[in-house]
Structure 1
């Protein structure tokens, strides 16, 4: 009898061991927690963040000054700000919300913002361009514990929208004083609903825990969020499909068709602040006739590239301004956004077939060659020219753009740091230091001045659309596409939406408590 009991117990132990090893049963997630798969952030220093994983973390750890309003022309929603006001669209007063604290317990003050913005300019962080180029800030200073005075070089009614940028998030005084930026990026301290419970571990991730001292809007729902770095989008998808994580923030192109089958309606697609255009140098006489530029635009089969090398990760351009801009849809069509071989060939002949040989320059090591090569083949086939991809080392490519000396077309990939159309259009004004095309138009400059000076966002949006229309006629840049994101999640979660800075709003996700 004893031997029989021991045999049964041994069999049960073996069964438990097999189940544990094969992973057929997993311990249920703790109440009030969920897990997320994401890529490795390039940086967690706010003014250096450009990628989706970085924005995902920043949107949980920080609360921005504002968020875009709900609907076309809607006023931005104050978040860390209590109010943002101006009488002339040039001098602005930013009043901070009372009671906000950093995760180290120190109060969030006007001086903290000012010191952070000064550090961004001093250190040359990439996001400083929001201050120096988009806002064109003449000065900013703290005029009280919770009040910032911001003065611009010229009127700009888009300020409340621009102030929501990740690049303008505040750092605590201890971080600014220490200047250990690498150390801070390993364990950022923000003013948001979640705090990092440990240092960020490259290749692994970290845990976010709810900040109990948070007194701002949109507090977090979950008690704890596990962030797990995956090698690529394919691994993310598999982790979510098998239930090893609750949410994946990327979907590979070859699984695009399976999302509904694997996850039902637990799928989110949203616009990312990333777009790609072709630049046409104004100084290249071969393209002086607008017909030649329109011929090039109409010769590109964007849909074939989207289905092929781009792996269903982009939205084909239907305008110059991408869906990430809260402007609503265009009332008219974008003719040069279409693929029309017959019109392309007719316009190319009308322009005198100006370029028997055509180079398409792009930066090496950016993953662009996979689609630049077939795009060049399309141009060659459609226009009867010899078109070739021209890879340029990244450092040299930046210099080529800054000098404006490209002898052919060049790829312009832009990661937007704000949700304002001003950021994308202003660099095309005459004499703008960031104008890579050499485009100059008094009419466009006047439209931009009127759009910038408009006090109402609805009015300025209409004026920016008019400026966009002129660019679509003159075509100094050729719109190609903008990226969109995919997220998929398990049955435990609800309320998965995009955040104001176009990541996933982790704080808004519903999870069983």
Structure 2
């Protein structure tokens, strides 16, 4: 998320953390048709890519896309369980051929109807290899995907054979093999529909994106802000209640936090680590925060294309040189030490998958370092906005103290520059890599990150045995059988340790005294359908 990535908040019983509304608190300005004539100001990072669902897999763009679009499936805020959104029904008898019916009456922001072909055309566009979209591999389970992504040469077609439009409100999806979690997957951004206007003039559309969600794109100023406005004709179960959502780009989380405390910002879903560690946020935002574990994971990624960093023994050495329990005390105390490549709260999670390799053991760490032949220095990179300096310094100190090699932290790039270096493979060392659930399954913490050539496998990891194990899991006859096979695939990763798992994130979310009825999802999203603004 990617991730970091991204769930559309629409319905369900929610985790509630609300300030008390006093009798004198006035609702901000006048309401028009149930929509408050005001705005909520939120933190954001500069989107790495244009706001095209099939080309976005990080949270700077995902925050916006999740408000601008509604997919076939949404995810409940309290546990990310899927429910039908634009889909009227998704049915199958064999988990290979799916009949998908969509609700009538939905329209894109340009007034055109959302039809079955808008999903089919969008999916084909994402899958077409020459388009080089970041979420391309999310389509790889659909029959005909390989024809659009040949190993050599150019594709001979632009359409997957597994997609068939039945009528304006129904289409059929045929997968190359059964996949029991497919109905859960299709709520992710890659599967959002696109209007005809995109295909008529993609360049113009990218300047002013048009979706079908509760909020419409209004404007964006590079490295400044993005502004969305309520869609008064939205057909979802819940309606937008706030006229505008203003997302402001801050150079780092500390400056964003200061703006929140001063009342210049209304909502921040990831406070700086130092404010969490000290507990300062509780003093600065009395009654205006919630803190808990979320469906986010923090890792250290090691580029397999860099000499030295490609050694599994180096990665094992680093993993066993980190005392996760002590490190967590430095960053807030609520994180859960990683014991595998997935986290609690995901369907199929099994504790202890990483075994001793995720346990602090200086003696064995030095043994693995000796096998690797790595002499140092070891570089750990992050972006300026992340606030990760709070824990990356202690990680480096632990590595140096345990392994006897120099360790350097690098925090010189903006998020956009950081992502460009990671994706462009110009980064010169290991780097912070957090992952936010796209949907609540362990498959989502495995397939996009570790399959050969997967959408978020930025470090170039490749293991044919792991790929084959994931394929077997995908083809399992039922959900429980699939989850067991995904767990087997996860255990194969321990042999290579493509990343060093650190912890499941525990975070504090805060808001200004303008907001009431604040509800926060398990992915740290603000429920914009329930929140109110007061003067």
Sort the Cα spacing of 1:142 and 1:362 in 2 relative to 1 into closer, same or farther, 3 A: farther
State the TM-score, normalizing by the size of structure 1.
0.74
Sort the Cα spacing of 1:314 and 1:193 in 2 relative to 1 into closer, same or farther, 3 A: same
Any unmatched runs of 5+ in structure 2?
1-24, 31-35, 147-159
Displacement of 1:191 in angstroms is 0.9
Displacement of 1:98 in angstroms is 2.0
Report the 3-state secondary structure (helix = DSSP H, G, I; strand = E; otherwise coil) of the residue aligned with 1:357: coil
Measured in 2, the distance between the counterparts of 1:348 and 1:278 equals 20
Mapping for residues 146-185 of structure 1, pairs under 5 Å: 146-180=169-203, 183-185=204-206
Measured in 2, the distance between the counterparts of 1:245 and 1:390 equals 30
CA RMSD of aligned residues (A): 4.5
Report the 3-state secondary structure (helix = DSSP H, G, I; strand = E; otherwise coil) of the residue aligned with 2:494: helix
The aligned counterpart of 2:263 is 243
Measured in 2, the distance between the counterparts of 1:489 and 1:427 equals 32
- Answer yes or no: is 1:301 the counterpart of 2:333: no
Larger radius of gyration: 1
Deviations 1:300-325 (A, max 9, x none): 234565666x79997642321145x7
Sort the Cα spacing of 1:178 and 1:246 in 2 relative to 1 into closer, same or farther, 3 A: same
The aligned counterpart of 1:48 is 55
- Answer yes or no: is 1:453 the counterpart of 2:475: yes
The aligned counterpart of 2:529 is 507
Mapping for residues 291-440 of structure 1, pairs under 5 Å: 294-302=316-324, 316-322=337-343, 326-327=346-347, 330-332=350-352, 334-336=354-356, 338-340=358-360, 343-346=361-364, 348-349=366-367, 354-355=372-373, 357-358=375-376, 360=378, 375=395, 377-384=397-404, 386-388=405-407, 410-411=430-431, 413=433, 415=435, 418-419=438-439, 420-426=441-447, 436-440=460-464
Any unmatched runs of 5+ in structure 1?
1-25
Sort the Cα spacing of 1:299 and 1:205 in 2 relative to 1 into closer, same or farther, 3 A: closer
Measured in 2, the distance between the counterparts of 1:287 and 1:206 equals 39
Deviations 1:231-265 (A, max 9, x none): 24334333333334432344223332222223234
Measured in 2, the distance between the counterparts of 1:248 and 1:397 equals 26
Sort the Cα spacing of 1:436 and 1:359 in 2 relative to 1 into closer, same or farther, 3 A: farther
Pairing partner for 1:85 from 84, 91, 113: 91
Displacement of 1:108 in angstroms is 0.6
- Residues 253 and 312 of structure 1 are in contact (CA less than 8 Å); yes or no, is this contact kept in structure 2? no
Displacement of 1:173 in angstroms is 0.9
> Which deviates further from its counterpart, 229-238 or 187-196?
229-238
Displacement of 1:417 in angstroms is 7.5
- Residues 294 and 336 of structure 1 are in contact (CA less than 8 Å); yes or no, is this contact kept in structure 2? no
- Residues 78 and 521 of structure 2 are in contact (CA less than 8 Å); yes or no, is this contact kept in structure 1? no
The aligned counterpart of 2:44 is 39
Mapping for residues 182-261 of structure 1, pairs under 5 Å: 183-196=204-217, 198-205=218-225, 207-220=227-240, 222-231=241-250, 232-256=252-276, 257-261=279-283
State the TM-score, normalizing by the size of structure 2.
0.71
Larger helix proportion of the pair: 1
- Residues 360 and 372 of structure 1 are in contact (CA less than 8 Å); yes or no, is this contact kept in structure 2? no
Sort the Cα spacing of 1:351 and 1:487 in 2 relative to 1 into closer, same or farther, 3 A: closer
The aligned counterpart of 1:19 is none
Sort the Cα spacing of 1:293 and 1:251 in 2 relative to 1 into closer, same or farther, 3 A: closer
Deviations 1:60-85 (A, max 9, x none): 2211221346888x962111112222
The aligned counterpart of 2:11 is none
Q: How many residues align?
A: 469
The aligned counterpart of 1:12 is none
The aligned counterpart of 2:294 is 271
The aligned counterpart of 2:29 is 30
- Residues 517 and 532 of structure 2 are in contact (CA less than 8 Å); yes or no, is this contact kept in structure 1? yes
- Answer yes or no: is 1:107 the counterpart of 2:126: no
